[in-house]
Amino acid sequence: MEVEGQDTAINITVKFSGRSIPISVSLDSTIKDVKSLLQPLTNVLPRGQKLIFKGKLLVDGMTLRESEVTNGAKVMLMASQGLHQGDGPILKDAKTRPISRANTSSNKTVNEKIGVLFDKNRVERWKVTGVIGLAECNLKAIPEEVWTCGPSTRVLDISNNFILDVPAQIGCLSSMQKFLLNGNGMLDECIKWKGLTSLKHLTVLSVSHNSLSTLPSELGALCSLRQLHVSNNKLSSLPMEIGLLTQLEVLKVNNNRISNVPMCIGDCSSLAEVDLSSNLLTDLPVTFGDLLNLKALHLGNNGLKSLPSTIFKMCLQLSTLDLHNTEITMDVLRQVYSPTSCVLSYPGHCCLMT
């Protein structure tokens, strides 16, 4: 990382967590400037950084020249626990159940008969209740019996299995309202999203704790969606089509790698709760102010230094604002904004600002 146009630029090496990070910076840069330069390289917020040179703690307000840091110097970076932007994906392994292989041949025959009866009974139960519960069943594929339930299906829960394929056939469950497939280790290609576009009554979609890196444009076709849970994946962005989800009330995308939010987020006029914590955000679009129904906004563990003033001017129902481990301090908010009454959450305390 270089700072161009500086006649007094020097090269230094920052030692951090077993890594050597080379940077080029002006001798007249302050230690605080160096910390800002290191933020995107380390994901450690500036106020969580301690820079040490020759056994001495470097002071924010002093320049490198004043600190006697010279060309070729090696500086150690120590990070305060918790003051990181973007904790990264925390993948929840699908739970497994031990499979007994000690059955005798007679027991196996009995078990097979019971299994056939059970399968028949459970399909009938699924059709009557509309609820297909298959969480934590060690499944590698969606059972064929599921498709026989067709439009009678209201809820399908296949969470915490090993399922790596959601076929286009999912569209035959045309009346489904809730689809839960958390914790399967799914990659982008595992979900045939075109099949999901037939689910016009779907209100809850939860794909948290997987390995998704993108959300496709087909997401915008889920016009009845009210809750979208995609936390703990590897998402780097949100699709522009998210603005088409005008009925969306809850959006949870925490613990991903998102660096920016599209302007069209303001079109999601029904949003009441948004969780963007533990990502790589450095700013928010001004269109957040268009979310007039917003009540809770979680932004902890990001690189944010400020918020759009439109949030405080327009989001009059906002009651909870979580800013844990960001660069936004209470003093910054008091000096720059005149917030409506809302609970501001910081490490160790919450307070009500009016």
Asked, for residue 333, whether it belongs to a domain, the answer is: no
One domain, residues 61 and 191: no
Instruction: Look at strands 178-180 and 204-206 and give their pairing.
Output: parallel
One domain, residues 148 and 122: yes
Q: pLDDT digits over 266-290, tens only?
A: 999 999 999 999 999 999 999 999 9
* Amino acid 87: pLDDT: 57
Expressed as residue numbers, the domain containing 162 is 85-97+106-225
Instruction: Look at strands 155-157 and 178-180 and give their pairing.
Output: parallel
Q: pLDDT digits over 3-21, tens only?
A: 444 458 899 999 998 889 9
Burial class of residue 108 (count of CB atoms within 10 Å of its CB; 0-12, 13-18, 19+):
exposed
* Amino acid 108: pLDDT: 43
One domain, residues 90 and 176: yes
Contact 271, 246 (CB under 8 A): no
One domain, residues 62 and 184: no
Find the CATH number of the domain harbouring 206: 3.80.10.10
Residues (pLDDT < 50) of the chain are 2-6, 88-118, 346-354
Q: How many domains does the chain have?
A: 2
* Separation CA 136–CA 325 (nearest Å): 35
One domain, residues 137 and 14: no
Asked, for residue 329, whether it belongs to a domain, the answer is: no
Burial class of residue 351 (count of CB atoms within 10 Å of its CB; 0-12, 13-18, 19+):
exposed
* Amino acid 256: pLDDT: 94
* Separation CA 294–CA 281 (nearest Å): 19
Question: Running DSSP on this structure, what letter comes out for residue 190?
Answer: G
* Amino acid 42: pLDDT: 85
One domain, residues 146 and 204: yes
* Separation CA 10–CA 29 (nearest Å): 10
* Amino acid 29: pLDDT: 92
* Amino acid 67: pLDDT: 92
Check: pTM over 0.85? Answer yes or no: no
One domain, residues 119 and 68: no
One domain, residues 57 and 156: no
Find the CATH number of the domain harbouring 65: 3.10.20.90
